[in-house]
């Protein structure tokens, strides 16, 4: 208990300090998110991933909180996903490589001995979906940090209920690191997570939830896993439906996520973060209560129903502007502007000089 408090406090302070220090190198080397109104440095994810791994590894080295082979494998896979995300932050990487690399890492952490192969394969797909969903949430200040803190606490409570103390400590360290990062990421953000941090956070949370629910009833596990990550999956569903209906490529970026649409109806950036954080908290609370047997599994249907209603309501908020019309007929020749004759120039000058 005392070690967990000390580890979380250390992670919070180190993440806040390291995120502030990494802002200057990100600016210096141009590692920026240029999709926002102002370019945002993107090495905050390095701070969160590095601090989480180092503090968790310190427990293994000191033997105060040994990780065990399963949690150690999870940290190694999450670190590999973070490195893949860092490459995507530094230079352009196609989405299929991010998804493929995340799938390989997920396949290495699923406990097939408890799930079996038939359930292990969809578990890999679910980890990939949630990881990509957290990356997609990283388009607004403090959003991934707030949702990640809430989810980490919820999954950590489930781990503690299953007497998985090592996993509970890891999740508390992650929550603390994200809290320290939020000191630099609250609107107006000074530094962002980037693909490195958002993929790392989503992967650790999704993989931890799968490990916790391994061996439980599959139907109740689906209910708990969905409820713990309802916001990220709802955002993915909203974007997929919106781009499908608009005839846009699924992987083309656009201002069509939940936070974008809430901003269009007048909410402030801070208001969007608080509202979505509260929504994530409500869904995570239901998942925790169902996991602990204090609430019926059918209550998760309320979470799904509310999410679907919100998705279809947000679909009515049009995020895409009208397409720019060409200034000349498609397929025609582009004619250069006609040159003014000397007489026309003289006439204009006489009118101007009046």
What residue ranges do the domains of the chain occupy? 1-316
70, pLDDT greater than 90: no
Two tokens at 322? Answer: 């009208």
238 vs 36, which has greater pLDDT?
A: 238
pLDDT grade, residue 79 (50/70/90)? very high
328, pLDDT greater than 80: no
348, pLDDT greater than 90: no
DSSP 318: -
One DSSP character per residue, 171-221 reads HHHHHHHHHHHHHHHSSSPSS--HHHHHHHHHHHHHHHHHHHHTTS-HHHH
Two tokens at 171? Answer: 């999740």
329, pLDDT greater than 80: no
Measuring CA to CA, which residue among 57, 264, 33 is closest to residue 135?
33
Q: Which residues are CB-neighbours of 163 under 8 A, at least 6 positions away?
A: none
349, pLDDT greater than 50: no
**33 forms bridges with which residues in the sheet?**
40
- CA–CA dist 87, 93 (Å, integer): 7
- The torsion angles phi and psi of 315, rounded to 5 degrees, stand at -65, -25
- pTM of the predicted structure, to 2 decimals: 0.87
Contact 106, 207 (CB under 8 A): yes
- CA–CA dist 315, 260 (Å, integer): 12
pLDDT grade, residue 290 (50/70/90)? very high
pLDDT grade, residue 335 (50/70/90)? very low
Residue matched to tokens 């609370």:
285
Predicted pLDDT of residue 321: 65
Two tokens at 65? Answer: 């909180």
């Amino acid at each position: 208990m005392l070690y967990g408090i000390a580890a979380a406090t250390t992670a919070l302070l180190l993440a806040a300090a390291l995120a502030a220090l990494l802002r200057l190198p990100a600016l210096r080397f141009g590692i920026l998110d240029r999709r926002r109104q102002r370019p945002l440095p993107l090495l905050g994810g390095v701070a969160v991933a590095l601090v989480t791994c180092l503090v968790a590894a310190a427990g293994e080295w000191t033997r105060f909180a040994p990780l065990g082979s399963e949690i150690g494998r999870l940290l190694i896979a999450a670190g590999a996903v973070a490195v893949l995300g860092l490459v995507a932050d530094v230079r352009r990487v196609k989405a299929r490589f991010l998804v493929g690399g995340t799938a390989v890492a997920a396949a290495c952490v699923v406990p097939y001995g408890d799930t079996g192969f038939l359930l292990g394969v969809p578990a890999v797909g679910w980890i990939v979906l949630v990881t990509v969903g957290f990356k997609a949430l990283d388009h607004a200040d403090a959003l991934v940090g707030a949702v990640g803190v809430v989810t980490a606490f919820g999954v950590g409570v489930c781990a503690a209920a299953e007497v998985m103390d090592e996993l509970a400590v890891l999740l508390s360290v992650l929550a603390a690191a994200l809290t320290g990062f939020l000191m630099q990421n609250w609107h107006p953000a000074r530094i962002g997570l980037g693909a490195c941090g958002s993929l790392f956070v989503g992967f650790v949370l999704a993989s931890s939830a799968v490990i916790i629910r391994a061996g439980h009833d599959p139907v109740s596990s689906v209910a708990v896993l969905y409820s713990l990550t309802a916001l990220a999956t709802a955002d993915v569903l909203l974007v997929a439906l919106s781009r499908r209906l608009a005839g846009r490529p699924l992987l083309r970026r656009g201002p069509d996520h939940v936070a974008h649409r809430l901003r269009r109806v007048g909410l402030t950036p801070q208001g969007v973060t608080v509202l979505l954080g509260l929504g994530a908290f409500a869904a995570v609370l239901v998942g925790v209560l169902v996991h602990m047997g204090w609430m019926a599994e059918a209550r998760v249907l309320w979470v799904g129903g509310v999410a679907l209603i919100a998705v279809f309501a947000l679909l009515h908020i049009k995020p895409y502007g009208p397409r720019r019309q060409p200034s000349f007929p498609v397929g025609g020749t582009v004619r250069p502007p006609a040159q003014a004759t000397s007489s026309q120039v003289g006439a204009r000058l006489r009118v101007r000089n009046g």
